[in-house]
Chains A and B, each alone.
Chain A
Amino acid sequence: MAQVFWTWVAAFLTLAIFSFLYKDNPFYKFAEHIYVGSSAAFWFVYLWYFDIKPKLIDGWRYNTGFEKYILIIPAVLSIFMLMRFIRPLAWLSRWAIAFTVGMAAGLGITAALQGYLVPQIQATFLPLWVSKGSFWHSLGISINNFVLVLGTIVTIFYFYFSKEHKGTLGALSRAGIVFIMVAFGASFGYTVMARISLLIGRVYFLIHDWLHIV
C-alpha cells in the first residue's frame, strides 16, 4: 500500500515538474520547493551523520593521544569558516579557506601531472605506420594514430598565443579549431543523449510503474 502511495506521489511530482514546459504554474513551484527543501534536509542529515558526528565528535570521544588532539585543528578551522557570517571576524574564514586551497592545490597538481598530463603525453607517442594483420587493418590503425598525433599538435598550436596566428601558425591553429569543434560536437551529441535518457527514464516510470500500461 505504501509503495502505491509513494508511486502516486512520485508521478504527481514528475507531472508537476513537466508542467513547466507549458508554462510556469503553482504545481511546478510546489514540486520545485519540495525538491529544494528535501535535498537540503538530506544533505544536512548526511553531513551530520557521516562527517561531523563520526569524524569529529566520536573521534574526540573515542580516540586517545595524538589522534584525539589533532582534531582540534579541523574543529577550529571549521568554526573559522563559519565566521564569514560575523562581519568583524570574517577575516578568520580566510585561514580556513587558505588551508583548503593549499591542500587542494597540492593534491591537484600532483594528481594532474602523474595521472593526466604525463600519461596523456606518453599516449600520443604513436607510430605513424603500424603493421598488424591485413593491409587494410594496418592502414586503419595507422590513420587513427596519424589523426590523433596531428589533432594533438594542431590543437596545441591553437592555444599558442605568443605570436599572431598568421601564415603557417594561422593554418595550424585553424586546423586546431576543426579538431576542437569535432570534440565539442561529440560532447554535445552525448549531452543530448543524456538529457533524452532522463526523459525516457521518467516516461518509463509513468507508463510502467504508475499506469502499468507496459
Chain B
Amino acid sequence: MKYIEKLAKIDRRIIYLILFLTVLLPYLFKISLPMKPLPEVVQAYREIDRLPAGSVVMISIDYDAASMPEVQPMLYAILRHCFSKDLKIIMLGHWPLGIPLGIAALEDVAKEYGKKYGEDYVFLGYRPGVAAVMINMGKEIRSVFREDYWGTPLDSLPMMRNVHTYDDIAILVGFEAGSTGDYWVQYAQARYNQKIILGGTAVVAPDWYPYLQSRQIVGLIGGLRGAADYENLVHHKALAYYGMTPQAAVHILIVIFIILGNIGYLALRRRK
C-alpha cells in the first residue's frame, strides 16, 4: 500500500527527467514510427497540388519564435511544395517578431529550388492594423504595401504587376499562433471569398475545425503532427517527421503518469 501511495507523491523533478529522456532516446536510437496523414492535411496538400503553375499563393507569418518548433517545419514543407510546382509566393506577416523567421525560410527554400526574388517570390513584410490590412488588400494590395520589405516599389517587381487583390491570389496560407487566423477567415474569406488554408500551433488548431466543417477553410495543418504529415506528403521528411516518435513516446508516458497518479490518489483517499 505504501508504495502505491508514493505514486501520488513522485518528485516533479523525477518526472521532468523521465520526460527529458523520453524525448531524447528516440532521437539517439533513431526510432521512427509509421504515420498515415490526417484527412485535413491531405485536403490542404491537394488544394495546393491542383493549382496550375504560375498561380499565386499568399503566405502569412502570424507567429514568432515561441511557436517556431511547430510552425516553421510546416512553412518549409509548404514552400517546398509550392516551389516544386512553380507557384509564385507572396509572403507577409502580422506578427513583427515572426518576420525574420519568414524571410529565413523563404530564402532557404528559394535557393534550394533556384527561384528568383521579384519573379518567383516577393516579401511584403509587416504593416500594422491586422483587420484594416486584410480588408484593404481586398481592394488593392498597393493601398497597404506600396513597396516590399526592402523598399522596392511593387510595380517594379515583375511578379506583382498583375497582382492587385485577392482575386489574383489562388490560395492564402495562414501560419498562426494566435487569433490572426480567425481574422483571415472573417475578413478575407467572408468578405472576399478568398480560399484559405490554416496551419498553426496545436493550441489554436482545435478552434479551426468548425471553419473546416463549414468549408470556410479548405485545409488545416495542426501542430507538429500536421507539419509531419505535410513533410510526409511532399516526400521531404525533416524536423517535424522525426519529432513525431518522441511526441508519441511522451504521450504514452503522460497517459501512464495519469493512470499512476490516479491509482496513488485513490489509495490515499481510501486510507483517509
Contact = CB atoms under 8 A, between A and B. Distances in A.
Interface of A: 21-22, 39, 42-43, 46, 50-51, 55, 107, 111-112, 114-116, 119-120, 122-123, 148, 183, 186-187, 190-194, 196-204, 207, 213-214
B246 interface: yes
B246 A116 contact: no
A204 B243 contact: yes
A206 B98 CA distance: 22
List the 3 closest A-B pairs by CB distance, nearest first: A201-B69, A115-B186, A123-B214
Interface in B180-202: 182-183, 185-187, 189-191, 201-202
Interface string B239-257: 1001100110011001000
Contacts of B19: 199
B208 to A, nearest CB: 11
A51 B206 contact: no
B190 A114 contact: yes
22 contacts: A43-B96, A50-B96, A55-B128, A112-B186, A115-B182, A115-B190, A123-B210, A123-B213, A186-B206, A190-B223, A193-B223, A196-B23, A196-B250, A198-B66, A201-B68, A201-B69, A203-B20, A203-B23, A204-B69, A204-B242, A207-B24, A213-B27
Given A116-B186, A193-B247, A122 B214 contact: yes
Per DSSP, chain A at the interface is helix
A115 B13 contact: no
Given A43-B97, A46-B126, A51-B128, 12 more contacts: A111-B183, A115-B186, A115-B190, A116-B182, A148-B213, A192-B254, A194-B70, A196-B250, A201-B243, A203-B23, A204-B69, A214-B28
Contacts of B4: none
Per DSSP, chain B at the interface is helix
A119 B202 contact: no
Q: How large is the interface on B (under 10, 10 to 19, 20 to 34, 35 or more residues)?
A: 35 or more
Contacts of B12: 21
B78 interface: no
B33 interface: no
Contact of B243 (A42, A192, A197): A197
Given A111-B187, A115-B190, A198 B24 contact: no
B131 interface: yes
A200 B26 CA distance: 11
